[in-house]
A and B are shown apart, each in its own frame.
Chain A
């Protein structure tokens, strides 16, 4: 499974109704859009923490497959 699909799967696994769009930017860098009802009533930081929490294993360590998320957008449907 390529890294974009791994990111998508990890987020969907953590946030039940998430609609996830992952766009690879430069090497190891990604742009992520997530839409979910889960975000309702949460601050922007809390929304982003949910997503980062879901993909933390992909971002951990020096040789992590995901070096950086260049842009993360979260919204409710």
Chain B
């Protein structure tokens, strides 16, 4: 198998057009794989704009980029036309601050945050860690201050905080948000779970949580009937739109670029199948500074139930 000249030309043109290009599964709003999502989270924290190519939308591109880069996995990051690496390498470069330098930004603050692990939680973690000696406790706090704990092999570039003899590994973004975090053991459904309290407003780097209003399908119908001016987007896949649609524009790459050109106070409504994906998309745009962002609660499913039974349910 070798790379078609046409595909080679296409890729060369894509990576030549923009300084930062991420080949990924899904797009910035809706990454379709955890590794792509992790890289998007890193890049979103560093850059307002960058290009993405969704390889799931283009099977030839999916194979072509692997061949082009001599790299077997997605995501893949290109900076100024040069291949940088996949998820692990990007995470390492980010944690070490090298990625900041490569993007022409100032070196990050690698201050180790103060966190508290209660003695009860520490005892539980010690048991887990003794059972998996090659793994370490990891903490991740996303831009919305949602925490998650995990056990994973250390990569070597993480920031390491310690409390009650337990080391916690975290990436740079988490470290900036983790000051004052408290981890406790709690009873959960008869077993023991953990509770992570992230100190409010701890991280200067934390993006302001955008405000998303909820609207019902009936309210959206009325807005349409009244001829109210607003942008209406469908966050589902093209395949789902073929099954059922209610006139909203598919939120593809082109629509995303279009939104970026809109005034920040433009009213926007997002819908999907049940309301989950559109909520995530709406939050994304609220974080980008849009002030009138609404999610259609219950999605097109609620539309079929409450507004128009002729719209097929699936």
Contact = CB atoms under 8 A, between A and B. Distances in A.
Contacts of B69: 49
Interface string A52-66: 110011011100000
Interface residues of A, number: 14
A57 B1 contact: yes
B135 to A, nearest CB: 14
Nearest to A44: B89
Given A45-B83, A49-B83, A59 B72 contact: yes
A3 interface: no
A50 interface: yes
A25 interface: no
Interface in B221-259: none
B66 A56 contact: yes
A57 B69 CA distance: 14
A21 interface: no
A56 B73 CA distance: 11
Interface string B43-77: 00000000000000000000100110111110000
B68 to A, nearest CB: 11
Contacts of A69: 72
Contacts of A59: 66, 72
B84 interface: yes
A40 B69 CA distance: 20
A59 B73 CA distance: 10
A45 B83 CA distance: 9
Contacts, number: 31
Nearest to A69: B72
Nearest to B89: A45
A53 B2 CA distance: 11
Interface in B78-127: 83-85, 89
B84 A45 contact: yes
Contacts of A60: 1, 63, 66-67
A34 B72 CA distance: 17
A56 B1 contact: yes
Contacts of B1: 56-57, 60
Contacts of A61: 63
A45 B72 contact: no
A56 B2 CA distance: 10
Given A45-B83, A60-B1, A53 B89 contact: no
B83 A56 contact: no
Given A45-B89, A61-B63, 6 more contacts: A45-B83, A50-B70, A57-B1, A59-B66, A60-B63, A69-B72
The 10 closest A-B pairs by CB, nearest first: A53-B70, A49-B70, A59-B72, A52-B70, A45-B85, A52-B72, A60-B1, A52-B71, A57-B1, A45-B89
20 contacts: A44-B89, A45-B83, A45-B84, A45-B85, A49-B70, A49-B71, A50-B70, A52-B72, A53-B70, A56-B1, A56-B66, A56-B70, A56-B72, A57-B1, A60-B66, A60-B67, A61-B63, A68-B72, A68-B73, A69-B72
Interface of A: 44-45, 48-50, 52-53, 56-57, 59-61, 68-69
